[in-house]
Structure 1
Amino acid sequence: MSILEDFIVINPNGIYCKYGDFYLDPQQPVQTAVVSHAHADHAVSGNKDVYCTRPTREFMYLRYHRSAAQVFNIVDYNKSFIIKDITLTFIPAGHMLGSAMILMEYEGASYLYTGDYKIQEDSTCEPIEWVKADVLITETTFADPNVIHPDPVEEIKKLNGIKSNILLGAYGLGKSQRLLKMINEYAPQKKVLIHHKIMPINQIYERLGIALGKHQMYGRKLMKEQLEYVYIVPPFTFNSYIKATGVKRLFASGWKNLQVNREDTLFISDHVDWNDILQAIKMVNPKQVWTLHGNGSYLKAHIGGEIMVKVLN
């Protein structure tokens, strides 16, 4: 067994595996795409053949309709499939409903592409599972020793201390559903309103067996009263309400620059932090670590003496 240093390469279309002639989460439409999850920066429209989980297909079709793909190949978790001479398997990634890490096996070597992944508990998606691999190809969005995500339950409980109505900004797919479920569990006196763009996504979650809890469509008259409403809105709406009065504005994110006021923050991330990445390396036990989507220099400095680290971007 030998690790192929060019097993994947980055080109203008995205992450390319020439040995299987497919792309992982391509950035432009391609012939064959293996899609880890349905967020728009990983799942573009117009691909010919797409391999993904069923929830990913549902979300892509909602967003792109018939241009989502010419052919969807739906694959369950832990069920191997073959593209050319490469055996691939979707492993739950814990990032959002339907998200998958992608295990690729070729000529005796194994490569695990994480896509985006999360270790924190989240009852709105499949929990992360671990497999061993010779190469861990990991996202490094928050791969900085200074970034440690707080307990999301303690973060959402902050809402209990805010008695005014809340305008809560969040990404519509994945984060909004997680927040809705957590508010129902840990701030049950709140009345959750949902932006009309997010409601069809919620309906897919419910159809796929994920109960999100009590919520209703936003109506303009509702928030005229201070009844502890939490109105969950996507970023474009949140930013358009910058001068909104009678509400506390919060944005749920792991990014400090997206926190919008000094009195209250809501640090809830759907990505791994520094400690989580170190745990992933321990669980996967790779011979090499390749980094994507962030700054891999801290990781290289930290473990480079023990494990070869290659920064791909």
Structure 2
Amino acid sequence: MILEDFLQFDGNGLYCRYGDFYLDPLQPVANAVISHAHADHAVSGNTNVYATAATIAFMQLRYGKNAGKQLITQPYSKVFDVRGVEVSFIPAGHIPGSAQVLMEYQGTRYLYTGDYKLQPDNTCEPMEFVQADVLITETTFADQNTTHPDPVEEIKKLNDIKVNVLLGAYGLGKSQRLIRMINDYAPQKKVLVHHKVMPINNVYKSLGYNLGAHQLYNRKLMKTQEEWVYIVPPFTFDSYIRATGVKRLFASGWKNLQVNTQDTLFISDHVDWNDIITTINNVQPKQIWTLHGDGRQLKEHFVDSIFVKILN
């Protein structure tokens, strides 16, 4: 039997009262099950943190001793008990260590996706499908008019830009994916990275990921037109708004983050509408619960076939 109150939001985030834990809590809590290490999903200061080894490594890099009082590493697919709820992590394909959280309680399976993507990515584990009675899916781009383009074709656009490029990207996940893709599909480009990004790259290396050729930013190098691509996090990108002698691009699935009309780089680390439908077809849920976006179109689409509940 599906428990309609199995997950509910309160002031600390998404709470499972049957196991007394939070999924990606917004504030420090006693028991936190963390899907991945992005800051909007992994806060510091929790008491007990359940996560994959990669997620914990990134949290330790970011938060140091405040990553959590007790860090409980769990490998993919291994079932562990959290106060009566059987939990396991399933690869989500978002960044290294990202996990869907499969929860089984009284014979019913609830699958929380966290952030996930289906597009190929050589810098993280690929998304895996498992079946569940309830699919709790992010809906960041759950719009029938949104289709993410082929990321390979997007990165190949850099081949036509003959001046240096200032490329904005989030420091964890997107930057490393771009470095690998530039090496693979725009190999004549030379990659520079911001000093805030390099420690994250070192964690990738320790996890066994080869990002390809790149080096720490050097101001003198960017003064030469040698097809440099300088990858910078958002706060630095915004500070370079008056930069001359470079083409400014921001790699994102969001249209409002594209910074010029003649050159765009639509590379998303989230699922689009078609990917969500593919996921639903594979998971085969009896119910769909939506969060992190707008679930209204899914509710309308499945009105005659699957019950859809909008959690937020």
TM-score (norm 1): 0.99
Amino acid at match of 2:70: V
1:22 is matched with 21
Aligned identity (percent) is 69
Which residue of the partner structure matches residue 163 of structure 2? Answer: 164
Per-residue deviation, 1:85? 1.0
Q: Which residue of 1 aligns with 2:153?
A: 154
The within-5 A match list for 1:1-313 is: 2-313=1-312
Amino acid at match of 1:72: L
Per-residue CA distance 1:173-229 (angstroms, 9 max, x = gap): 000000000000000000000000000000000111000000000011011010000
Aligned mates of 1:125, 1:260 — CA distance in 2: 27
Task: For residue 67 of structure 1, report the CA deviation from its aligned partner.
Answer: 0.7
Partner Cα distance (1:149, 1:270) in 2: 10
Distance in 2 (CA, whole Å) between partners of 1:82 and 1:174 is 29
Q: Amino acid of the residue matched to residue 59 of structure 1?
A: F
Residue identity opposite 1:205 in structure 2: Y
**Residue identity in the other structure for 1:89:** S
* SS in structure 2 at match of 1:272: coil
- What is the DSSP-based 3-state SS (H/G/I as helix, E as strand, rest coil) of the residue aligned with 1:47? coil
2: CA distance, partners of 1:110 / 1:225: 57
Give the letter for the 1:312 counterpart: L
List 4+ stretches of structure 1 deviating above 6 A: none
**Residue type of the alignment partner of 1:81:** F
Question: Any idea what SS the aligned residue of 1:90 has?
Answer: strand
RMSD over aligned Cα atoms: 0.3
Cα deviation code 1:30-63 (max 9, x no counterpart):
0000000000000000000000000100100111
Give deviations 1:220-246, integer Å, cap 9, x for gaps: 101101000000000000000000000
Three-state SS of the structure 2 residue aligned to 1:293 is strand
Over residues 96-147 of structure 1, what are the superposed CA-to-partner deviations in whole Å (9 max), with x where a residue is unaligned?
Answer: 0100000000001000000000000000000000100000000000000011
Deviations 1:73-101 (A, max 9, x none): 00000011001111001000000010000
- Cα distance in 2 for partners of 1:143, 1:294 equals 7
1:19 Cα deviation after fit: 0.1
Q: Secondary structure of 2:137's match?
A: strand
**1:252 maps to amino acid:** A
C-alpha separation between the residues in 2 aligned to 1:105 and 1:224? 57
| Cα distance in 1, alignment partners of residues 206 and 101 from structure 2 | 25
* Equivalent AA in structure 2 for residue 258 of structure 1: L
Q: Distance in 1 between matches of 2:44 and 2:34?
A: 11
**Structure 2 length-normalised TM:** 1.00
Cα distance in 2, alignment partners of residues 96 and 181 from structure 1: 13
| Structure-2 separation of matches of 1:5 and 1:207 | 42
Deviation at 1:304, TM superposition (A): 1.9
Give the letter aligned to residue 29 of structure 1.
P
Q: Name the SS of the counterpart of 1:57 in structure 2.
A: helix
Deviation of 1:288 after TM superposition, in Å, equals 0.1
SS across alignment from 1:171: coil
Q: Give the distance between the partners of 2:223 and 2:131, measured in 1 at CA.
A: 54
- In the alignment, the residues of structure 1 paired with residue 304 and residue 29 of structure 2 have an alpha-carbon distance, to the nearest angstrom, of 38
Aligned length: 312
- Corresponding residue SS for 2:102: strand
**1:160 to partner: Cα distance:** 0.2
